[in-house]
Structure 1
Amino acid sequence: MTAPLEQRAVAELMTRDLLTIAEDESVLMAWELMCKADVHHLPVTDVEGGFLGVVDAQTLTSAWNVTAPREARRPVTTLLPSRRPAAVRPQAAVAEAARAMLEAGWDYAPVTDEHGALVGLITAHDLIAALAGVHREIRPRTGGMPSLYRVEPVLPQPPAHPGHSE
């Protein structure tokens, strides 16, 4: 018999294989990665792979300024919240993660090990899926950071006029 949802361990529901973005990448790169990978949360890491925070789709879209394309080139760290999200441990009860999300006002909670290293992310979507009885296979972590394919965003250029050379 499975334990009630609120008593289950966060490790049973969290996403382990995370797509991350480096702190020196641009807001535009974050947008591209989220769109290409169809994710709503993008953990940001420092040069050593340390966890800095999470950029979510809501923050990204609310900060997007169509009239200032150069703003898209600013570092993704400019979108990180001023306070770090309250992290939970993999062995914590799901109820603890839900409380951390509610108290922070976010729809996610980072999951870190005893050294503060990011090992997963639990989201409101994960909680709703579990409540609905949707079970997904959670593969064991393969070690190291997940594969990250580099996407090079390109801002659109105005069309060239016929008869004019550049």
Structure 2
Amino acid sequence: MYDKQPLPRVQDVMTRDVISIAPDLTVRQAKDLMRDKGISGMPVVDRENALLGVISVADIIQAMENNNLNAFVSEVMTVNPIFLHEQDTVGYALQACRRYKYGRFPVIDEQAKVVGVLTVGDIVTRLAQLLRIDQVDEPDEIKEPKDFTTRIYECSIQSMNFDLAGLAASNIKKMLTGLGLKGTTVRRAAIAAYDAEMNVVIHAYEGKLSAKVTPHDITITVEDSGPGIKDVSLAMQPGYSTASDRIREMGFGAGMGLPNIKKSADEFTIESTPKGTTLVIKIFID
């Protein structure tokens, strides 16, 4: 059985240590702050911490091109920005990511004061923690390969359905643990399956995952119908995104998790077309 966890709310997963800026500071000061903090955008707030707007790297670049770094932040910021409430569910938050093409949102409380920032990465990381994806105990008795026959698990994956997000990875983890495999092997498979599953949930239209376990290896295949990845080799680089420059600057992008999947696998192949993507992950059983 899948131990379904209550779907967390934005306040449960957001980053609370918010870096913000006042509207009467200059764009040059905003540029220096973002560079020093290693961020690509931040909320603009008044003295009461109420949200006034958002300034991003794209705004900074535009100001530089216009030789306008001495302008006030209020002159170049995005006004009336899209925001989330701390009581919103993460499912709603991800729907907002897809609808507005952003991956970073300011979060406000009932008084409209900024209390956090939420990114796609925050959500994926927190869900993995709730599902204890990477927490695996070593079995009391590790079985030899001859102790079990081939097992197959299959599961459909629904786009943007965070009630079921992590179901496939959790079930694979349970199956492998029940077979008495080493904890390190189970952990690698669970992490790879989770990242692949979340890619489908967030970026594709629909997909399916299958896992085949033989006495020699674990093969996880994930197929999705979606926009595909234009340049697979670039998408495999840590930190790279196939999203547009504007979206990437806001912290959102496709290709999330692919380097982690490759790191967890002994063999990893990926094929992608404008109609969808197929991942094949193989992990050898010691």
Instruction: Bin the TM-score by the shorter chain.
Output: 0.5 to 0.7
Report the Cα offset of residue 41 of structure 1: 2.2
Q: TM-score, normalised by structure 2?
A: 0.40
Report the Cα offset of residue 9 of structure 1: 1.3
Counterpart residue number, 2:24: 24
Counterpart residue number, 1:150: none
How many residue pairs were aligned?
A: 128
Greater helix share, 1 or 2?
2
Counterpart amino acid of residue 76 in structure 1: V
Counterpart amino acid of residue 49 in structure 2: G
Counterpart residue number, 1:51: 51
Q: Does 1:95 align with 2:91?
A: yes
Counterpart amino acid of residue 3 in structure 1: Q
After superposition, residues 83-162 of structure 1 pair within 5 angstroms as 83-85=80-82, 87-130=83-126, 133=128
Provide the rounded CA distance (Å) in 2 between the counterparts of 1:108 and 1:82: 15
Provide the rounded CA distance (Å) in 2 between the counterparts of 1:81 and 1:72: 16
Show CA shifts across 1:64-122 (max 9, x none). 42572xx101011222224421x222222101111223222222222111111111110
Percent identity (aligned): 27
Counterpart amino acid of residue 41 in structure 2: H
Q: TM-score, normalised by structure 1?
A: 0.66
Consecutive unaligned residues of structure 2, counting only runs of 5 or more, are: 131-286
Provide the rounded CA distance (Å) in 2 between the counterparts of 1:72 and 1:125: 31
Q: Give the secondary-structure state (helix, strand or coil) at the position aligned to 1:120.
A: strand
Counterpart residue number, 1:35: 35
Provide the rounded CA distance (Å) in 1 between the counterparts of 2:80 and 2:43: 14
Report the Cα offset of residue 2 of structure 1: 6.7
Distance 1:105 1:117, change over 3 A: same
Distance 1:122 1:67, change over 3 A: closer
Consecutive unaligned residues of structure 1, counting only runs of 5 or more, are: 136-166
Compare relative contact order (CA 8 Å, sep 6+) and give the higher one, 1 or 2. 1
Provide the rounded CA distance (Å) in 1 between the counterparts of 2:21 and 2:44: 5
Report the Cα offset of residue 129 of structure 1: 3.5
* Equivalent residue in structure 2 for 1:77, among 74, 77, 80: 74
* Range 102-111 or range 23-32, more displaced: 102-111
- Preserved contact between residue 23 and residue 47 of structure 1 (Cα < 8 Å): no
The CA RMSD over aligned residues, in Å, is 2.4
